[in-house]
């Protein structure tokens, strides 16, 4: 959606409503796009709710322009022009019970009012008529937007029993919007926090990523603690005593990746103080949330290398250089800067590393003088020593002690000599 022009996207959403209305169906914008618009924010996407049944939506817009992936829940995706993207058209419905704590066991197509009543929070239960430009509010969502509260529709306990992930969603919406969670809704979450474990690891991870990479991540962390959800998602933080410092560092991260945000939290645990246990800690989180290898490796890298970067000015240049030339150094320095600023420092280690990164390429990362092929051509037999020899030759090159291939081979031969 990032490459979609909001004006064509909005015009397409209006045209879908017009086409449904012209065919004799009710049609309204629904959910988050209405909320964002009323808050003066540009909607990221649009959803349309309608009285048309899924098959009727497909017939109206054509099978080539529609996808029926969500048809079992009354949702048809309508494809717009390239510059407008796509949107979901959902038939007004009422949900049956949620036996699995995630999906309704059955749905019944119904009316706009019943459709609004089955949604999660009042601020997400609003409709908007883009033709007449008026809000349709069956659940008190406008008042809650004005009061800046996240409130469950009808009985909070029922809404959470239907889908336990709504507990994390309440935190995310409240943090991102700068809202509070309404008292009864918060109480219902606190009482059922331990039931979050029935939600799939992937859904929890996806929600946590949305909380932790957003600018409101510190508020999200505070709300997770307040709602008693933090021990359920990150029990590793139970031993942390200085949450003020942790939250400050988290807030000082600038556009962090998911991996760096998690590392910022985990670095305060005792396990992260040892390179060996830090790697195990990263593996533990990655396994529990079923994180991608890229994210898992980023967490492990940050926990292992952050302590070294915190003493960058004291490190031998070859050791620091290897960290500075790795692909994720930008992320790591962002984390380092947050840690230094969180402690009230002027980021001396970050500044030092960034000054080194500004060196000309031939100084920062000159091509290696020696390769394994060069060692073979010099008559050295391949073996376990090759890697150690190459690393030591590279160290001397970076320190300015070796300048030519001949120098490098001569030094390697001395290293390989018996005794």
Output the six-digit token pair for 27: 């049609």
Nearest of 83, 63, 105 to residue 6 by alpha carbon = 83
What is the per-residue pLDDT for 98?
A: 61
What DSSP character marks residue 44? S
Name every residue whose Cβ is closer than 8 Å to that of residue 349 and which is 6 or more positions away in sequence. 309, 310, 311, 312, 313, 336, 340
The DSSP code sequence of 357-413 is HTS-HHHHSPPPS--HHHHHHTTPPPSTHHHHHHHHHHHHHHTTS--SHHHHHHHHH
What are the average pLDDT values for consecutive 10-residue runs of the chain, which has 419 residues? 70 97 97 94 94 96 94 94 94 72 68 93 97 96 97 96 96 98 98 95 96 97 96 90 92 95 89 69 91 94 94 97 97 96 88 96 94 88 86 94 94 84
Residue 126 to residue 106: CA distance in whole angstroms? 23
Q: Are 267 and 253 in contact (CB under 8 A)?
A: no
Q: In 3D, which of 5, 8, 9, 28 has the Cα closest to residue 18?
A: 28
Task: Record the tokens describing residue 160, joined without a space.
Answer: 């959470």
Give the closest residue to 407 by CA, choosing from 396, 398, 419, 399: 396
Alpha carbon separation from 304 to 272, 301, 309, 320 (Å, rounded): 8, 5, 10, 13
- Find where tokens 């008042």 sit: 143
Backbone φ, ψ for residue 118 (5° rounding): -90, -5
Tokens of 202: 């992937």
pLDDT at position 1: 38
Q: What is the pLDDT of residue 112?
A: 93
Spatial separation of the C-alpha atoms in residues 66 and 87, rounded to whole Å:
10
Domains of the chain, each with CATH number or no CATH: 1-147 (3.30.460.10), 154-233 (1.10.110.30), 240-365 (no CATH), 372-416 (no CATH)
The rounded distance, in Å, linking the Cα atoms of 252 and 221 is: 14
- Expressed in angstroms, the distance from the first to the final Cα of the chain is 64
Q: By C-alpha distance, which of 288, 101, 98 is closest to 198? A: 101
> Cβ(173)–Cβ(219) under 8 Å?
no
CA 403/CA 394 separation, integer angstroms: 11
């Amino acid at each position: 959606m990032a490459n979609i022009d909001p004006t064509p996207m909005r015009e397409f959403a209006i045209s879908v409503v017009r086409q449904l209305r012209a065919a004799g169906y009710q049609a309204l914008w629904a959910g988050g796009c209405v909320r964002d618009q009323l808050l003066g924010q540009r909607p990221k996407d649009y959803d349309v709710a309608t009285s048309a049944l899924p098959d009727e939506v497909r017939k109206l817009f054509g099978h080539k322009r529609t996808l029926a992936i969500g048809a079992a829940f009354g949702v048809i995706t309508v494809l717009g022009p390239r510059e407008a993207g796509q949107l979901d058209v959902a038939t007004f419905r009422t949900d049956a019970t949620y036996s699995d704590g995630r999906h309704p066991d059955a749905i019944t197509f119904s009316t706009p009012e019943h459709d609004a009543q089955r949604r999660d929070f009042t601020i997400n239960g609003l409709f908007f008529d883009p033709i007449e430009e008026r809000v349709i509010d069956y659940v008190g969502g406008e008042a809650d937007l004005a009061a800046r509260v996240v409130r469950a529709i009808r009985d909070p306990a029922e809404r959470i029993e239907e889908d336990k992930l709504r507990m994390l969603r309440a935190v995310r919406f409240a943090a991102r919007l700068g809202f509070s969670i309404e008292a009864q809704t918060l109480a219902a979450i606190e009482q059922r926090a331990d039931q979050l474990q029935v939600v799939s690891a992937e859904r929890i991870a996806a929600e946590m990523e949305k909380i932790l990479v957003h600018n409101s991540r510190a508020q999200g962390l505070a709300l997770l603690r307040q709602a008693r959800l933090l021990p359920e998602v990150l029990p590793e933080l139970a031993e942390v005593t200085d949450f003020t410092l942790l939250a400050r560092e988290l807030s000082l991260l600038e556009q962090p990746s998911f991996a760096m945000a998690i590392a910022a939290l985990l670095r305060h645990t005792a396990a992260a103080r040892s390179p060996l246990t830090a790697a195990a800690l990263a593996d533990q989180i990655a396994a529990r949330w079923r994180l991608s290898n890229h994210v898992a490796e980023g967490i492990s890298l940050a926990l292992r290398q952050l302590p070294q970067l915190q003493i960058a000015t004291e490190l031998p240049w070859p050791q620091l250089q290897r960290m500075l030339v790795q692909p994720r150094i930008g992320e790591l320095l962002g984390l380092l800067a947050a840690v230094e600023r969180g402690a009230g420092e002027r980021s001396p280690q970050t500044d030092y590393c960034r000054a080194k990164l500004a060196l000309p390429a031939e100084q920062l990362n000159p091509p290696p003088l020696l390769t394994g092929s060069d060692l073979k051509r010099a008559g050295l037999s391949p073996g376990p020593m090759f890697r150690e020899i190459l690393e030591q030759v590279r160290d001397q090159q970076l320190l300015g002690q070796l300048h030519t291939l001949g120098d490098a081979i001569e030094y390697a031969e001395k290293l390989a000599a018996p005794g």
